[in-house]
Chains A and B, each alone.
Chain A
Amino acid sequence: MAIDSTPAPLRTSTPANIHDHGRLNRRTPWTILGLSLAAGFGVAAFLGSVGATDGLSLTLALALGTVLYVVMITLISRQIEGTRQATDRFVTAMVTIAFTVAIIPLISLLFTVVTRGAARFDIQFFSESMRNVVGEGGGAAHAIVGTLLMTGTAAIISIPIGLMTAIYLVEYGRGPLARAITFFVDVMTGIPSIVAGLFAFALFALVFGPGVRMGFAGSIALSVLMIPVVVRSCEEMLRIVPNELREAAYALGVPKWLTVLKVVLPTSIAGITTGIMIAIARVIGETAPLLIVAGFTASMNYDMFNDRMQSLPVFVFTSYANQGVDSQAFLDRAWAGALTLILIVMVLNLTARLIARLFAPTLGR
């Protein structure tokens, strides 16, 4: 790397104005990045050829190149642009690295799921159950139906309870009761999902006897996980409704409950909907509680109150854990199930954004 020749041509102009000082040319950082990476690859190739590493190590090359870039850009920038700009370049580089490190696993995960899931992402997968399937073929229709039924029921239970709790906390709750509820909601947010599953299992075992499995029990377990999330997000949304609007309604002689119903809720409906959608997306991928209380099955089951019910996360788990003779067919189905689940969550999130945009009130002043 020949950097001793760089400083002079890097100046964009000679200072004519007293406020003017050296600036790096816009392309210079990219040039430095390219050279640093090239040097990193060079070193890695050398280490590979002498046998210090096992062939050309891509990770080593990228890491060396990145470190070299951070050092070089900071030093060069300090020489030409001064300390403040150098610090800016250094922190920009560090933030970019942090972002890249965070995004790489995400992209890798999406890429893997899409490529492997595509193999069985066909009509049969969405139209058939696993009943009497031991090898190839079959599908996850029973799991998709189960997931939608159980999550839907969980939502029907959780949304009214959560929303009304949030309304109580924001609009009415004062003193020890409200503080206790807030505390327990916080505690519930941290409950491990397996504990929610065991709770539902114990509850239903008390009523129906041990060994009971049903979809509704799964919904109860999911509700235990979902209610605190709904309470929290609705509470936040209700709190940001300006107090002036409540006072405006009171001053018109509107009772408090009508003010909440017709002023506070419509004003915050966009945020509340988004929060609820995110809460649904949060529980739709739960595996552990459903594995316990809803069990797993190869057959279609539309009855929430009778027999085992399959769900997508459990389908993925069982396909992987209990591979049959033709193990590739089971793996393909597992990946396709994971892809379906990711798509469902994505659709939910997109719907939430769409609803938020449609309902958002114009608060412009």
Chain B
Amino acid sequence: MSKRIEVRDLNVYYGKFKAVEDVSLTIEPRSVTAFIGPSGCGKSTFIRTLNRMHEVIPGAYVEGEVLVDGDNLYGAGIDPVLVRRQVGMVFQRPNPFPTMSIADNVLAGVKLNNRRISKSDADDLVEKSLQGANLWNEVKDRLDRPGSSLSGGQQQRLCIARAIAVEPEVILMDEPCSALDPISTLAIEDLIEELKRDYTIVIVTHNMQQASRVSDKTAFFTIAGTGMPGTLIEYDDTSVIFSNPSVKATEDYVSGKFG
């Protein structure tokens, strides 16, 4: 169910502005890969290219290749909608659909696509996804309440349940814990640890402890200056990045000497 992602010579643009330059890396299946780096260095921009969410912004485009198990996401004739069904995404701020109940939020991927699903299959899918997101026990008695009635941490896990309900190959998480308290963060981190068994996970984080706790490999991005494109500085096992990085800039950043 999980797939290897290979990125080759990727340049990402917002109109004329080049936001990320020349990134090449390989993300292994069933692993957690963390992207770290200062604000504005292109981590979020880069992660959004992995499921073609980048191009929903007017004027944004990408040069280069992203291969998921050898298939180029940016090949001619590729439908971005189908790509996004394979590569799910969780956003920085929890964004459950306000018009839907908790159960409907989980089923959003099915229902919004007008696919028919029997009542019993739907119930099974809701339970399985919420179990998968460690939320089932907290909400099983109020599945018909609106999704916005949950706390921030619960909403974020609801969004994760919604993402895994469509059974993607890869889950991208763009700073999933930055709006959450430490307890909810811990719940999400435990969840990432479990999800790793089935999915390829890519996470953007500003929290270096979090990167070192949850990820197997870490990529460090930075920018040379304002208006310059972000670049991938170093990509290695998390333990190497945090203990013995080969580039001075990485060491400065992870040890807090940056800038």
**Interface pair A251/B98, CB less than 8 Å apart:** no
**Interface pair A250/B53, CB less than 8 Å apart:** yes
Contact with B91, one of A244, A362, A363 (Cβ below 8 angstroms):
A244
CA distance in complex: A283, B61 (Å):
45
A363-B108 contact, Cβ under 8 Å, with A251-B89, A253-B85, A254-B81: no
**Interface pair B112/A258, CB less than 8 Å apart:** yes
* Stretch with Cβ within 8 A of B (4 or more), from A213-221, A261-269, A314-322, A346-354: A261-269
**Interface pair B91/A263, CB less than 8 Å apart:** no
CA distance in complex: A37, B171 (Å):
74
> Is B109 an interface residue, CB under 8 A from the partner?
yes
Interface centre among A251, A258, A262 (most CB of B within 10 A): A251
**Interface pair B51/A251, CB less than 8 Å apart:** yes
Q: Mark B139-181, 1 if CB is under 8 A from A, else 0.
A: 0000000101100100100010011001000000000000000
Contact with B95, one of A248, A258, A361 (Cβ below 8 angstroms):
A248
A205 shortest CB reach to chain B, Å: 45
> Is A51 an interface residue, CB under 8 A from the partner?
no
**Interface pair A253/B53, CB less than 8 Å apart:** no
B79 shortest CB reach to chain A, Å: 9
- Residue pairs across A and B with CB atoms within 8 Å: the count is 89
**Interface pair B56/A252, CB less than 8 Å apart:** no
Taking residues whose C-beta sits less than 8 angstroms from the other chain, chain A's interface range is 20 to 34
**Interface pair A250/B95, CB less than 8 Å apart:** no
Q: Mark B63-92, 1 if CB is under 8 A from A, else 0.
A: 000000000000000000111111011010
> Is A242 an interface residue, CB under 8 A from the partner?
yes
**Interface pair A263/B112, CB less than 8 Å apart:** yes
**Interface pair B56/A253, CB less than 8 Å apart:** no
B163 shortest CB reach to chain A, Å: 7
- Considering the complex, which residues of chain A in the window 228-265 have a beta carbon less than 8 Å from any beta carbon of chain B? 242, 244-255, 258-259, 262-263
**B98 (CB) vs chain A CBs: closest residue:** A361
Interface centre among A242, A362, A364 (most CB of B within 10 A): A362
A248-B113 contact, Cβ under 8 Å, with A253-B81, A365-B148: no
Residues of B within 8 A of A248 (CB): 91, 95-97, 108, 159, 162
B255 shortest CB reach to chain A, Å: 34
**A243 (CB) vs chain B CBs: closest residue:** B56
State the interface size on chain B (CB cutoff 8 A): 35
Residues of A within 8 A of B53 (CB): 247, 250-251
B88 shortest CB reach to chain A, Å: 6
**B95 (CB) vs chain A CBs: closest residue:** A244
> Is B256 an interface residue, CB under 8 A from the partner?
no
Residues of B within 8 A of A362 (CB): 98, 146, 148-149
**Interface pair A250/B159, CB less than 8 Å apart:** no
A253-B166 contact, Cβ under 8 Å, with A247-B53, A365-B152: yes
Q: Mark B42-58, 1 if CB is under 8 A from A, else 0.
A: 00000000010100101
Give chain B's interface residues, CB within 8 Å of chain A.
51, 53, 56, 58, 81-86, 88-89, 91, 93-99, 108-109, 111-114, 146, 148-149, 152, 155, 159, 162-163, 166
